[in-house]
Amino acid sequence: MFGYYLELALRSLRRAPVLTGLMVLAIGLGIGASMTMITVVHVMSGDPLPERSGHLFYPTLDPRPLDDAHRTSSSSNGEIGIGHDAAIDNFTYIDAMALLEAKRAPRQAAMAGGSVLVQSADPHNAARPDFVPAHYVTSDFFAMFGLSLPSGHAWDTQDDARRARVAVITPKLRQRLFGTGDAVGQTMQLDGHLFTVIGVTGEWAPQPTFYQDVDSGHPFGHPDQVFIPFSTAIDLDMAVNGTFCWGKDNPSGQARRTSGSCAWAQFWVELDDAAQVSAYRQFLQDYAESQHASGRFPRPAVSALYPMMAWLDRTNWVPGDVHLQLALALAFLCVCMLNIVALLLAKFLRRSGEISVRRAMGARRRDIFAQFGVESALVGAAGGLLGLMIAQIGLWSVRQRPDDYAHLAQMDPAMLFGTLALAIAASSCAGLLPAWRACHVPPALQLKSA
């Protein structure tokens, strides 16, 4: 029967090409606008490490003085945090080192982002000095986040302890400094200091860059090109992104980095099961209480432990204007669907005579309903194809914007199928009322008037 209904639908649509074109255009515009913004939100709010995110957690503490009002937040899920005001996103050096040395997680890493001046150690190298994004990390960073090293290796805890001047670089930086040759064992200058390259990473560009400072302002761009030991960066007083200090003292230089009243580091842990999560959460709270008892944490002892995706929700890295544009696009889709309802209602009721003849010849109401349902779905499929083209144009326009997330505006296969599915579902839903009205047309009245 489906083939028969499809044939009837095609005949009906060909009989009214202008009306058919209007319906397809309305659906195409609504689907194109909405799928453009749905795709942008989808790529911006996706899981950056789907194979590992379930085991990665971000702890928070609150060492601020009582009179400080910098950025507060709450943990609404009791399974995620303890307390009511785990307030700041970053760690002081003292707290990051204390958690690192406690070794209460299978893997843990302290880190911070910055920018370093990179140049070749070879005076004959034509590559000019330039600032590149860098990350200062402890040794577990690579294994914990699944960052592969096809060439060379990462440093170990002994290198961390002795502040080794070693570096792991990306293929992009290797190409720029050393060409296609082997970079492992080569030397380069970072902020005027000689470093030995011990590894080259594979392709690794999680979006958003969840491990960076929340206030860095670039969660969807500027991937790091060089990684060096966290302790080495402290020792050489390398610049870091975003330092927040409190209290009367205003330390500078290395004292600012190691001060207990300046927060600038990030800290991630890997936990394998619920028991480890519970144990680490309790350890974190015990640490906060011990610091409060000693007088170092003036506020009541609070802590929180966020799973990666909960942390991304808390950081709110999807800009508010994107959510607004998505809401407007969906509202536009609703307006288009209301127009489709009106057009289909007029089209179906105009065929009351045809419906009555079919009913008189034995067609059931559900047969009429199915016939017009197939016709609505066919209009939706055509509108979906047009919507795909409009969405591609919309995504191209997004990629021309200067925002750091613009380059992510690409439609993956799931979104392609989703566009067609949404168009067919929307038009089928829009056709429910017209089809229901059509199958309830009294055939006797129509045949009598005919």
Q: Which of 287, 315, 343 is the last residue of a domain?
A: 315
Q: Give, to the nearest 10 degrees, the angle between helix 413-430 and helix 432-439.
A: 30
CB-side neighbour CA atoms (13 Å) of 229? 22
Q: Are residues 326 and 307 in the same domain?
A: no
Q: Are residues 28 and 59 in the same domain?
A: no
Q: Are residues 310 and 323 in the same domain?
A: no
Q: Are strands 226-229 and 130-137 parallel, antiparallel or unpaired?
A: parallel
Q: Are residues 234 and 87 in the same domain?
A: yes
Number of domains in the chain: 2
Q: Are residues 323 and 302 in the same domain?
A: no
Q: Are residues 40 and 58 in the same domain?
A: no
d(C-alpha 231, C-alpha 165), whole Å? 10
Exposure class string for 305-327: b at 16+ Cβ within 10 A, else e: bbbbbbbbebbebbeeebeebbe
User: pLDDT tens digits, the chain, 450 residues: what are they?
Assistant: 778 778 877 888 888 888 888 888 988 898 888 888 888 887 777 788 888 999 999 999 999 888 765 543 333 333 344 333 445 889 999 999 999 999 999 999 999 999 999 998 877 776 788 899 999 999 999 999 999 999 999 999 999 999 999 999 999 999 989 888 889 999 999 999 999 999 999 988 888 888 888 776 567 767 899 999 999 999 998 988 878 888 776 666 667 788 888 899 999 999 999 999 999 999 999 999 999 999 999 988 889 999 999 898 888 766 667 778 888 888 888 888 888 888 888 888 777 777 777 777 777 878 788 888 888 888 888 988 998 899 889 888 888 877 666 777 788 788 888 888 888 888 888 888 888 887 776 765 555 554
Look up the domain containing 275 and give its range.
53-315
Of 412, 410, 417, residue with least CA distance to 395: 410
Q: Are residues 197 and 86 in the same domain?
A: yes
Q: What is the CA radius of gyration of the chain?
A: 30
Q: Which of 269, 290, 315 is the last residue of a domain?
A: 315
Q: Are residues 190 and 97 in the same domain?
A: yes
**For every residue of the chain, which 3-state class applies, written as one string?**
CHHHHHHHHHHHHHHCHHHHHHHHHHHHHHHHHHHHHHHHHHHHCCCCCCCCHHHEEEEEECCCCCCCCCCCCCCCCCCCEECCCCCCCCEEHHHHHHHHHHCCCCEEEEEEEEEEEEEECCCCCCCCCEEEEEEEECCCHHHHCCCCCCEECCCCHHHHHCCCCEEEECHHHHHHHHCCCCCCCCEEEECCEEEEEEEECCCCCCCCCCCCCHHHCCCCCCCCCEEEEHHHHHHCCCCCCCCEECCCCCCCHHHHHHCCCEEEEEEEEECCCHHHHHHHHHHHHHHHHHHHHHCCCCCCCCEEEEEHHHHHHHHCCCCHHHHHHHHHHHHHHHHHHHHHHHHHHHHHHCCHHHHHHHHHCCCCHHHHHHHHHHHHHHHHHHHHHHHHHHHHHHHHHHHCCCCCCHHHCCCCHHHHHHHHHHHHHHHHHHCHHHHHHHHCCCHHHHHHHC
Q: Are residues 117 and 185 in the same domain?
A: yes
Note the pLDDT of residue 351: 74
Give the global pTM.
0.76
Q: Are residues 309 and 328 in the same domain?
A: no
Of 370, 372, 374, residue with least CA distance to 346: 372
Q: Are residues 240 and 126 in the same domain?
A: yes
Q: Which of 297, 315, 333 is the last residue of a domain?
A: 315
Q: Are residues 331 and 311 in the same domain?
A: no
